[in-house]
Amino acid sequence: MKYLKNIKQINEDFSENFSAQFIKPNDKTITLSDSSELEDAIKNEYKIIFNDYLIIPDLEKITCLIVRDAPRSKYGYKKVQHYRYRSIERMIQDIKNVMDSTEKYKKDKEEYKQEKKQKHQEGIKNIKNIIKVGDILYDSWGYEQTNIDFYQIVKVLDASVVIREISSENVPGSEGNMSANVRPVPNSFIGDEIRKNVKFYGNKYYLPSKFGSISKYENGDKGVYSSWYA
C-alpha cells in the first residue's frame, strides 16, 4: 500500500474542488492500484483513491460513496454511486466489483486502441491494394436534413488519397416528401482536388471530414437516403 500522508500530495492527483469537497487534512487516505488490498483498507477506515475514483466507506452506517474526479463539471466531480448495504462484507464485495470492472474496461479500451493502431498500420502498408483510383465515397451530414456529398478518388498516395467531388442524381421512384435516394454520377467532377489522410480498420477505410467521416460507397444503383427542406 502507498499511503498518502500529505494533503498537498493528494490535491495534486485531483481537481481542487474535488479534493476540497471530500478529502480533509486529517483524513486517512490510501492509493490502491487494484482490489487486492481493498478489504484491509476499508476495515482500517481509509478513504481510497483508485485511478480517478475516490471511494469513501462508512463502517458505522455501512454505506459507501464513490465519486469520480471531473475537473470540467460544475462541482469538480461526478457521483458514481452512494449505497447502503446490509453488511460490511457486501459493501466490500460491491466496491471490489466496481474496481475490477473499471480495470477491465481500462484494459479492454487499451487493447482495442492497440488493435486499431495495428490494423491502421497494416492498412497503410497495403493502401494501394485496398484503395483504387475511381473508388466512390460519400459523406452523409446534416441536422434537420440529410445531405449527401459524393467523391471520387483520383490519386492514391502512400498514406493519403486525393479526391474530387462529383455530382449526384435521384434514384427514379424513390422520391418522397422532400426526400429521395441519391446515387453518384462517376466522373462528373464538380469540385477541386482535395487531399485527405486515410484511416484504416482492417480492409475498411474512411477519410475524416468536417462533419464526421467520408466512407466508401457500396450501394450501387440503390443510392442512399437524402432529405431537404423547402
Give the contacts of 14 (CB within 8 A, at least 6 positions apart).
23, 49, 52, 54, 69
Amino acid 156: pLDDT: 96
pLDDT (tens digit, 9 = 90+) per residue, 83-134? 999 999 999 999 999 999 999 999 999 999 999 999 999 999 999 999 999 9
Mean pLDDT of 67-87: 86
- CB–CB of 192/141 below 8 Å? no
pTM: 0.65
CA pair distance 100, 107, nearest whole angstrom: 10
The 8-class DSSP code of residue 171 comes to P
pLDDT (tens digit, 9 = 90+) per residue, 180-229? 999 999 999 998 999 999 999 877 899 998 888 999 999 999 999 999 88
Q: Which candidate, 72, 91, 89, places its Cα nearest to that of 81?
A: 91
Domain ranges of the chain: 2-122, 130-227
Is the pLDDT at 9 greater than 60? The verdict is no
The 8-class DSSP code of residue 151 comes to E
- CB–CB of 88/59 below 8 Å? yes
Amino acid 4: pLDDT: 42
